[in-house]
Amino acid sequence: MHDQILFSVVIPTYNRAEFIVKTLQSVIRQSDGRFEIIVVDDGSSDNTADVVKEQSDSRIKYFYQENRERAAARNLGVQKASGLFITFLDSDDIIRENHLTIAADFISKNQQVDFFHLGYDVVKPDGTVIHPWKSLPDPANEKLIEGNFLSCLGVFIRRNILISISFNEDRDLSGSEDYELWVRLASRYPIRTINSSTACLVNHENRSVHLMDPSKFRRRMEVLKFYLKQDEKVVLVFGNQLPTLFAYVDLYAALHFSISNYKNLGRKALKDAWLAYPGIIWNLRFWVVIEKLIFF
């Protein structure tokens, strides 16, 4: 029995009863047992509550809230957590058995670390790897300018930091609330990286990233830029690089618009990216968007 809780694994969920059991089981099977699991049900209307409560492990703690989106769910999870470090999973992510062991070993060797990240592969539902993890520099603060390479999967942050610097709960930001927080934290702390892949992001057709509402998506990108420009520390640390960061935000938007066949919106976003940072033409994603806009 492990008395010390080193990790609080915070899992927000919304109508993911068909996926969350695999996620929970992947945590329960961890070789390092110094963890608790905080499930925050963000107003599910399916049988998520029953499925979670059927799991016979006392380390699972279930909380329900009326639907307030994932940022609010993660913030509630942090408030309910007891671990020294918080790590986040979405309710369809999978972690391998050594995930927390490698994290714990890194902490023991780097006792002053505040924020670090473990790699993950993007996989099909059957486990086939689509996109293997690509190494990040250590620290990864500057790389974050080029986009949200971290996602939430694999992020480990001291709980006391997340108590004082939390996710932005503006619903218009939902879907980019993690990136907005990582940039704010990157202006204050080094983001250490471990380039081992110990987790899987499962790419299935019901992922929220595939459900595109173009007007909401455009609003989300503008709200993201707005909040980053309002943070004094972000402006101080990244000020002269913010146009580049915003160009990559526009490129990200252009990619999603082109994939979803909103070609006019994709062209505009791509043009905005180029105007903000002409050097973006050397990024492979720029030419992927060009190809999709022309040929698909």
pLDDT of residue 1: 38
Q: Would you place residue 279 in the very low, low, confident or very high pLDDT band (cuts 50, 70, 90)?
A: very high
Measured distance CA(240)–CA(156) in Å, rounded? 28
Q: What is the pTM of this model?
A: 0.93
Judged on CB neighbours under 10 Å (0-12, 13-18, 19+), 3 is exposed
The type of residue at 198 is T
Host domain of residue 17 = 7-207
Length of the chain: 296
Over 90: is that where the pLDDT of 207 sits?
no
Please measure the distance between the N-terminal and C-terminal CA atoms of the chain and give it in whole angstroms: 56
198 and 250 assigned to the same domain: no
Judged on CB neighbours under 10 Å (0-12, 13-18, 19+), 161 is middle
Residue 295, token pair as written in the block: 């040929």
pLDDT in tens, 214-254: 999 999 999 999 999 999 999 999 999 999 999 999 999 99
Cβ–Cβ under 8 Å, residues 192 and 254:
no
Q: Which of 178, 207, 236 is the last residue of a domain?
A: 207
Domain count, the chain: 2
201 and 221 assigned to the same domain: no
Residue 259, token pair as written in the block: 């994939």
Task: Classify residue 2: in a domain, yes or no.
Answer: no
130 in helix, strand or coil? Answer: strand
175 and 40 assigned to the same domain: yes
Q: Which of 181, 207, 233 is the last residue of a domain?
A: 207
Task: Classify residue 1: in a domain, yes or no.
Answer: no
23 and 151 assigned to the same domain: yes
140 and 223 assigned to the same domain: no
Judged on CB neighbours under 10 Å (0-12, 13-18, 19+), 83 is buried
Residue 266, token pair as written in the block: 């994709």
Task: Classify residue 70: in a domain, yes or no.
Answer: yes
Beta-strand ranges (E) seen in the chain are 7-13, 35-42, 60-65, 85-88, 94-95, 115-123, 129-131, 155-158, 192-202
pLDDT in tens, 163-197: 999 999 999 999 999 999 999 999 999 999 999 99
CA atoms within 13 A on the CB side of 106: 23
184 and 218 assigned to the same domain: no
84 and 106 assigned to the same domain: yes
Percent of the chain with pLDDT over 90: 87
Cβ–Cβ under 8 Å, residues 88 and 37:
no
Give the alpha-carbon dihedral of 68, 69, 70, 71, to 10 degrees.
Answer: -70
Stretch 119-133: mean pLDDT, rounded?
92
